[in-house]
Every structure is written in structure tokens, then in C-alpha cells.
Chain A
Amino acid sequence: MKVSREEILHIAKLANLNLKEEEIDTYLLHLQDILNFANIVNNAPVEGLGESFGVNENENVFRKDEIKVFEDNEALLANAPEKERNMFKIPKVIQ
């Protein structure tokens, strides 16, 4: 499958990434290269086989819905790029 310039820009937008002009060509080339290789999955003898999302046999591991308070608020907030009192600070969302 051939990937177009528009497609890679669309994908970058979905992934919340900006691509610089010089990056677009490089990523396009690499993506194309890797996809050409990855295409061999379409030759694999998988007729009638189901999909594996993992190797565990476990399904729906439940636990009680109990509130556990994480005490160390300070350690959590210490990583915030910007904060005010005990809150994470972000720019205004509603204009």
C-alpha cells in the first residue's frame, strides 16, 4: 500500500504530533519501508484462525469497587508542569 503525504499528515494529527517539513519525507519513507515488510502478514496461513489479543486465558478480572485514597498528594503534584494550590493548571478551555 502506498502512503501519501496527506495520509501521513492526517495520521500525525490523530496522534497529536506535529511533523516538521523535513520530518515528513523521512517518516514517509520509513513508514513505507516498514509497511512493505509488514505486508507479509497478509500471506500468513491464518484461514479460520481467531484473533489473539494477548496470551492470558484470564477474562474480566474483577475486584471490589472500593475507594483507596492515595495519601501522597504532594508527590503527585510535584510532577505537574504547572500547578496552583493543589490543582494541575491548564490554559482556559472555553473561550
Chain B
Amino acid sequence: MDITELTVHELQEKLEKKEITISQIIKAYANRIEEKEKDVQAFVTTLCNEAQEEAKQIEEKVAKGEITSKLAGIPIGIKDNICTKGIKTTCSSKMLENFVSPYDATVVEKLKEENLINLGKLNMDEFAMGGSTEYSAFHVTRNPWNLNTVPGGSSGGSAAAVAANLVPWALGSDTGGSIRQPASFCGVVGLKPTYGLVSRYGLVAFASSLDQIGPITKDVEDAAILLNIITGHDEKDTTSEAKEKVDYTKCLKNDVKGLKIGIPKEFFGEGINEEVKKSLQEAIETYKEMGAKVEEFSLDIANYSLATYYIIACAEASSNLGRFDGIRYGYRTQNFSNLKDIYRNSRSEGFGPEVKRRIILGTYVLSSGYYDAYYKKAQQVRTLVRKQFEEAFEKYDILLTPTSPTVAFEIGTKSSNPLEMYLSDICTVSVNIAGLPGISIPCGVDSKGMPIGMQLIGKRFGEEEILNAAYTFEQKIKFRESNKPQFKGGVC
């Protein structure tokens, strides 16, 4: 038995039956990281030694009955924009290369309450800006299915690490698709929760009205388990909703009879790869066979959403990233004679090209003379998008679309053309604009064996519907049983 092949619920079962120990789990992952990390490069910081120490301590406490959490000792990877006390949180940026957070993010506190073990911090596009993890200031992460292709982004390290069995599950963050698109590219499950379901306290802000933390896992049941841990109201995040806790594992019924699924036809139009379309059509047929009521309808918001997304996200980023000034933390230039120089030179030397590009775009759309034409208009489109989704959910329980127009693309093919990179977010951004939950699960592979992702969108706080629909599909097609990453190609 290869421990790293197991899902978290399988690990938990084996721990409960005392078939394996916490130390064995951590050792297995440490060995796997030793073996495969050089090919995948999913981590910014690995904590294998610390994790093995922690495993011993937790085992002792479990033996004494001091810890009762069923998940105690399960390892996890954390995207490197989520603050971890005493451990570097770099956002894959030169700006925060040596930043050690003085506190834990709320989600990290919650992981610690369950005695999960942090295996390391995962690579990402700098400040979560990108869709390929090529914009990391440190290194490019590679897709375990084909090492010459990107893992997607911005949570590319998280998705690649889960796919390559370097961690059993991971946390990512999603502002415009950054959990779902890499999950799709790497053949794993990625869930972006409803805006407000998970506290953003301690998540380094990119676009505050869109950002959400969520799970990236091997299967849907694990996504439900991890969501159970991280949800909950937090007074430190005023946008987090005071809702009663739900046990999301209880909604996994393996039954979609009578479920009303809407297929927005515009999400299957121009620009969507034919093989992706075909795989999605097969998935739709599968849902019909399982008794769901599927209907095509018009939701003409994809292009508006994408334009709106880049206006709003960049505007918010230009403001949020104003805090990086080289004074209290972060990179400081050596080249200055006055305070103004520190600001400008630290920012110019510390930020990478994509971050600067977005700050410039954001500053432009907020500047006098352009505010009405771009930012104000985008906020109105945001209302339109919300309204159109609300109308759709009067008719349907969930919506089904591709997660990404294509499968994982080759490293270097899009990084020089920002607009082309932005266009690959076309299926995911509207979900963030409207603050809805969305899940990506694998639905097949293309002719080259690369995974294809299906996105299910729910109404606000409709996590249970999409989790059950995803689970039912997963049980039917059993993707993981017949498809595994091959680590094809080599490090160039």
C-alpha cells in the first residue's frame, strides 16, 4: 500500500483502525517529497523535518487521550499567501521573500485546532496574479501529468502537490478561478466557497471583494471534510457571514434524481476547445442517465464578466498592494536618499512584471477621467451578473460549465501575452463576481491524456447542492481509478 495514494478519509479510517500511524503517514510524505519535488517544484517552503517532530508529539498526546480530533496528524499543504505564524509567507514574491508572519490566518488556526500537520507552503503566481504559476518570483511549478505543461494558477503549487501525492490535500485561494482552474489542469478537486463562508483574515489581500480560501483535494468527500474545518464566522473579517455551521459530508447522497441542472450555452461557445466540449457533453449525458433534469439556457455574461473582473480585481489590487512600501516589512531597496525613493524603488524592485501591470491597470481605471468609463461601469455590470445568476437559480438548482476553455498548456506559451492569459479565466470569473460557490472536478482526459475539468456552480451558500452533484458524478465515473499523473516530459 502506498500511503500517499490514499485520500484523507481513507487515511483517517486506517488511523482509526490502527492500521497505520501518524508517523508512518508523515514519513511516507517526506519520502514522496524527496523523490518527486525536484520534478514538480510545488513548494516554496517544505517542513518535512518539523512535520516528523510534530507527528511524534501528536502521537503521544493522542495516546494519552489529550487530543481527540479524528483528523489529528493528517498532513496538509498551504498556499503561500495564507499567513502561518513563525513560517515564511512569501506570496511567491521578492517583496515578501523573507516575511515571517507574526500571526496565523484564521483558517490556519482552525487547522491547528484539528491538529493537522503543515507539510509546507505552496508555490503560486506572485500575489495570486496569474493562471499558470509561471509568475512566481522563485520558480515555475510543473504539472505532474506532463512536466512540460503548467499546473494552472494561481494556486498551481497546491493543485500540483495534491495531484503528485506530495500532500493529501491543500488550501488554495480563488479570486477569479485560482482554485478551480489549477484543479482542472491537474485532475483534482477544487472548491471555491461562497464569498463570506470562509474567513479571509490572514489571507494576503489581492482583491478583497472577490478573494476566498478553499480546499484542493483528491476527491469530493475530502473537499467536504476540509470545508467543514475552515468555515465559520470570524469577527476579524467583517465580510464573513454569521451562519450556522453545516456538516458538508452529510449532503453527499450519491443521488441526483430530479436535480435541475442548467447549461449556459454561451460557456460552450467560441474559444472552448473541441475535446473539452466533447468531454463536458459526455458528462451532461451521464447526469441525464443518473436522473438529473438537464436544460440548456442563455446566460450571456461571460465576456462582460471577464472585462469586469479585470477592472475590479486590478482596481482593488492597486489599493491593497499600496501597503508594500519597504517600511515595516517586505523588501527595501538599497538605493535611496529619501522616503519617496524608498517607496518607489522598493516597489519597483520588489514587484514582478505581472503585479506591476495589474497595479498600473488598476490605478488607471480608478484615476480621474476614467473612473466612470471603467470602474463605475464594471460595478454596474457586477449588479447585472448577480441578477442574471439569480434569475438562473430560480429555474435551476446548479449550473454546469467547463472550468477552463483548454487543458493545461505548455510552459512559456502564454506568459508573454497577458490578454491571452486573462482570456483563459473566462469560465470562472463570473462566479467570483457574483460571490457564488463553484467546484471543479475532473470529468475526463483529452487525446494526450491531460485532465479536463467540469465546473458546477451553486447559488449563494449552495455548497451542499454542488458537493452532492460532484460526488454523485465522481462515484459514477471513478476518474481516479483509471487516470493517474504520469510525470511525462522532463525538466528543461
Contact = CB atoms under 8 A, between A and B. Distances in A.
Given A17-B356, A27-B357, A30-B418, A53 B367 contact: no
B361 A56 contact: no
B383 A81 contact: no
Interface stretch (B109-117, B246-254, B322-330, B446-454): B322-330
B100 interface: yes
A95 B90 CA distance: 35
A41 B102 contact: no
Contact of A41 (B308, B328, B364): B308
Contacts of A53: 209, 379
Interface residues of B, number: 72
B136 interface: no
Nearest to A62: B238
Contact of B329 (A30, A49, A70, A80): A80
Interface string A35-46: 101111110111
Contacts, number: 169
A41 B304 contact: yes
A90 to B, nearest CB: 6
A14 B307 CA distance: 23
B284 interface: no
A68 B371 CA distance: 38
Contacts of A61: 238
B360 A81 contact: no
A48 B304 CA distance: 17
B185 interface: no
A46 B102 contact: no
A86 B345 CA distance: 25
A41 B382 CA distance: 10
Interface string A1-45: 101000110011011111100010001001101110111111011
A54 B239 contact: yes
Nearest to B85: A75
Contacts of B311: 38, 41
Interface stretch (B41-49, B256-264, B335-343, B464-472): B335-343
B336 A52 contact: no
A81 B330 contact: yes
User: Which of A38, A41, A72 lies at the interface centre, i.e. has the most chain B CB atoms within 10 A of its CB?
Assistant: A41
A78 interface: yes
A22 B69 CA distance: 56
Contact of B419 (A33, A42, A92): A33
Contacts of B98: 79
B201 to A, nearest CB: 13
A70 to B, nearest CB: 8
A4 B381 CA distance: 27
Interface centre among A7, A30, A50, A75 (most CB of B within 10 A): A30
B330 A54 contact: no
Question: Interface of chain A, helix or strand or loop or mixed?
Answer: loop
Given A17-B360, A34-B361, A41-B377, A55 B327 contact: no
Given A38-B307, A40-B303, A88-B328, A52 B360 contact: no
A65 interface: no
A28 to B, nearest CB: 10
B225 interface: no
B329 A41 contact: no
Contacts of B382: 51-52
A31 B342 contact: no
A54 B374 contact: no
Contacts of A75: 85-86, 100, 102
B315 to A, nearest CB: 11
Contacts of A81: 326-327, 329-332
A63 interface: yes
Interchain residue pairs A-B with the least CB separation, the first 8: A55-B435, A81-B332, A51-B379, A79-B329, A75-B102, A61-B238, A46-B380, A52-B382
Interface of B: 85-86, 98-100, 102-103, 195-196, 209, 235, 238-239, 241, 303-304, 306-308, 310-311, 318, 322, 325-332, 336-339, 342-345, 347-348, 351, 353, 356-357, 359-361, 363-365, 367, 370, 373-374, 376-384, 386-387, 418-419, 422, 434-435, 460
23 contacts: A8-B360, A15-B318, A16-B322, A23-B353, A31-B361, A34-B310, A34-B361, A35-B364, A41-B308, A41-B377, A44-B304, A51-B382, A51-B383, A52-B382, A54-B239, A56-B435, A58-B238, A75-B102, A79-B99, A79-B102, A79-B329, A80-B329, A90-B339
